[in-house]
Chains A and B, each alone.
Chain A
């Protein structure tokens, strides 16, 4: 953890800019580009400040980076990106991707993403990540050259594995349930929060009408901004839940693979035995057809046995290495999950605390306003 990139380099996403360009289908589109600034942190205190490097990236490039990281490090809970589209809006916010408030919150979210990756002991060492931060041109090609897309598991395969795996590690099953619960609870909470914020805004707005009659004002806009920040913190963990699920899925896939390989091996061994001893223990089409159409010659049988024995040899080795892989995966995944858990507990606690603090300050403002009002009224 001491060697992670975040300590050696200052990373900020400092600006956002609207741009127009041509997309892959040669149609004009508007998008937002974000300025990433990096500066090496000198271990010698003040005075010498290294020059600032900067380059522009758009959201789709961030997505590409994250996909690459998810595929390349399937045992790591990869930090999530801020939302692509504004969800959980309430009436004051707009759902427009170009809305300046949305862009601003996304900028903060992207910076947060980069910082999280940079502070991760494993992810921060990735070269592609480093070049994302430092190399403007040719980065996309570099990523594609790694061929990571080929390594990606198909969604269908993963779904299949989820249903048919027999012996997944119990901890992963629990984790899967937890991440499902977390997802559902946080999204429910965000939805209700959005409605509550909407109503609260309504209450304050109508109170503002008093101003026309009494000439006193109440300002609430800044309070509602802070509410959004809290919502964003929750959203991050909502998306983290998805990342957790991804790790679980990978485990299920590997486990399923393993089980399939083991099954395959067992059946091959059985076949071999049957051929060698000539007994048909289980019903098989081959057995039936050979009974119907005559036995094979001993040479044919020998050849078959040889092939099978080779396959069994291969299979056993594969199984061994798969087992090893699986165990390694579980070990490293679990280590990262523990790290994630601590991070989550710490972050959520802080988020809840700052939310409470914000509520208190809002109430204090309310007290101030109404104390003033009370004074005014008593002079009526």
Chain B
């Protein structure tokens, strides 16, 4: 019964009450008290007979007791990150797991190993691991620890353990079944609100993302045209005498504007665009989390219904139900706490990003 397995794979330090969770999360977010530092860098490409792929170096420095040493350096490829994410999702279905960069980018990139693409991915992977490290619960996840510390062969053998493909398929089937059952009857108010909020948020963030991309595109075209504009004035000044200086002045001003535009564009592509993209992914993740929560509750509800119909196997069921109820409560609490945290983080990110954009624009105009 995989539901039991899921309960067991909750990490041992899962607190029971929401309040202790909040304490922990406040504690963990103090930057001075961080005890796990991770960097992702140094992409390298590996060519084998079958495929070519990129590995990234993951360096971990920690002072935690449960780690055998204080420094680790390993090489991981994108597939390994995918594995980690799916393990975390399995273990904590109602926690908000940070987004991974996408497998492919549909538009624009032709080469998978374009330098820009690799760099963008590297940054995103770095953020991914650090967000997990900052998460009060996920940071203590066993698979996470293995990911950070195991050598390549150790990791492969560990990967082979645990619920295999079939059980994962079983989960998916159940998920589909519960959604076919049509909604959840006893969904607490709070989660309905969350759901509504997420739908609106998802809409808006997608719009923002599109807008930001279009702005970037237009700016780039503007910049391209501007590049020609300045030199014409210089050319003109060559034919003139009296107004040559004025024309040269205009030319140099236009060139300055060009440079300022370039800076603004760089600001956009480095700050705003990636963050908006992340939150687009986040909105999808959150919708997934809410669904899973609903699914768990659905299970509980169906069992309760079954119980009310089959009075004979009461005892067996009530134990199951008890466990499920716990599970649901934990799930709910986890989600609640995480949600608050996520929201705070999100607002902070948004605030700083947009302030950044505003400042960039100010600088642009001032120049």
Contacts and interface: CB of A to CB of B under 8 A. Distances in A.
A203 B219 contact: yes
Contacts of B215: 203, 206-207
A196 interface: yes
Interface string A175-218: 00010011001101100110110111011001101101100000
17 contacts: A185-B232, A192-B225, A196-B226, A198-B225, A202-B221, A209-B214, A210-B211, A345-B240, A345-B242, A353-B246, A363-B365, A366-B361, A366-B365, A370-B362, A370-B365, A374-B359, A380-B351
A193 to B, nearest CB: 7
Interface of B: 204, 207-208, 211, 214-215, 218-219, 221-222, 225-226, 228-229, 232-233, 235-236, 239-240, 242-243, 246-247, 250, 253, 347, 350-351, 354-355, 358-359, 361-362, 364-366
Contacts of B218: 199, 202-203, 206
Contact of B221 (A192, A193, A199, A378): A199
B214 A206 contact: yes
A349 B243 CA distance: 7
A276 to B, nearest CB: 54
Nearest to A209: B211
A234 to B, nearest CB: 10
Nearest to B362: A370
A352 B351 CA distance: 40
Contacts of B228: 192
A195 B204 CA distance: 32
Counting contact residues on chain A (CB < 8 A from B), the size range is: 35 or more
Contacts, number: 103
Contacts of B239: 178, 181-182, 185
A280 interface: no
B354 A377 contact: yes
B232 A374 contact: no
Q: Is the interface of A mostly helix, strand, loop or mixed?
A: helix
A364 B221 CA distance: 23
A196 to B, nearest CB: 5
Contacts of A195: 225
Contact of A380 (B221, B235, B243, B350): B350
B208 A213 contact: yes
B29 to A, nearest CB: 19
Given A182-B239, A189-B236, A199-B221, A367 B366 contact: yes
B354 A370 contact: no
A377 B232 contact: no
B233 A378 contact: no
Contacts of A199: 218, 221-222, 225
